[in-house]
Amino acid sequence: MQIFPRSLNKLPLVVAGGAGFGLVAVVFLIWYYFSPWFTQVGYAPKQPVPYSHRLHVGELGLDCRYCHVNVERAPLAMVPPTETCMNCHQLVKTDSQELQPIRDSWQTGKPMEWARIHKLPDYVYFDHSVHVTGGVGCASCHGRIDQMERVRMEKPLSMGWCLECHRDVKEKQGDSAFIRPVSEMTNMAFVHTDHVDPPRKLNPPENCAGCHR
């Protein structure tokens, strides 16, 4: 005489399996949360052309604004169009294999598809111009771009990271290590050593609606 139907014989196995799966799920979530894929620090995708900031900025000395023309006046900094590269590459390295996709894009008029590296979720509002005209340099948020052969994400772009600077600046104004003279915005080697007169009284938002509009 059986009290339980035969089909329940497998129950302990199913329960054990479920617990195992639960454990795996927890481990996965912890690993995912702390891994660089989540924060994306270190993210450095391969680009269609191995464009080097180390060469063009570090060695040739081009200013960021030569290519990222909108950075002082608009929310987006903008990655340059093919024309900007061809200003020089119509004359320099004209038979370079690495530059073939640029020449193709120039001939066909089809824009280059650069892989996007820094990207905030749509529900976050961010504006470059407010930051750079307020005295925050590119290097504070993007690191030593002038030393990068391939651009790599240096900071987590997390809410905590934004707020850490906003609090510090609001409290210390021109004594905050994050503030520099506006004329130094693209200087990669600048180090804050002394008080800086900020261009205006700085009031970076800490309230939710400041960044989630």
The residue among 20 and 210 lying less far from ligand HEC, judged by its C-beta, is 210
Q: Would you give the binding string for ligand HEC spanning residues 25-64, x where CB under 6 A is met? A: ----------------------x-xxx-x-xxx--x-x-x
Tokens representing 30 are 């912890």
Out of 105, 106, 180, 204, the residue judged to bind ligand HEC by CB under 6 A? 204
Of residues 66-125, those binding ligand HEC (CB under 6 A): 66-68, 71, 76-80, 84-85, 87-89, 92-93, 96, 98-99, 102, 114, 116-121, 124-125
Among 104, 113, 149, 206, binds ligand HEC (CB under 6 A): 206
Cα separation of 197 and 119, whole Å? 31
Nearer Cβ to ligand HEC (7/94): 94
| Positions in 163-192 near ligand HEC (CB under 6 A) | 163, 165-166, 169, 178, 185-186, 188
Instruction: Please identify which residue in 15, 23, 27, 159 interacts with ligand HEC, judged by CB under 6 A.
Output: 159
> Alpha carbon of 212 to those of 76, 114, 134, 202: distances in Å?
17, 28, 20, 19
**CA-CA distance, 140 to 185, in Å (whole number)?**
10
- CA-based angle 195:127:165, to the nearest 5? 40
Please say whether the beta carbons of 86 and 102 come within 8 A: yes
Taking CB under 6 A as the rule, does residue 136 contact ligand HEC? yes
Quote helix, strand, coil % in the chain, to nearest 5.
Answer: 45, 0, 55
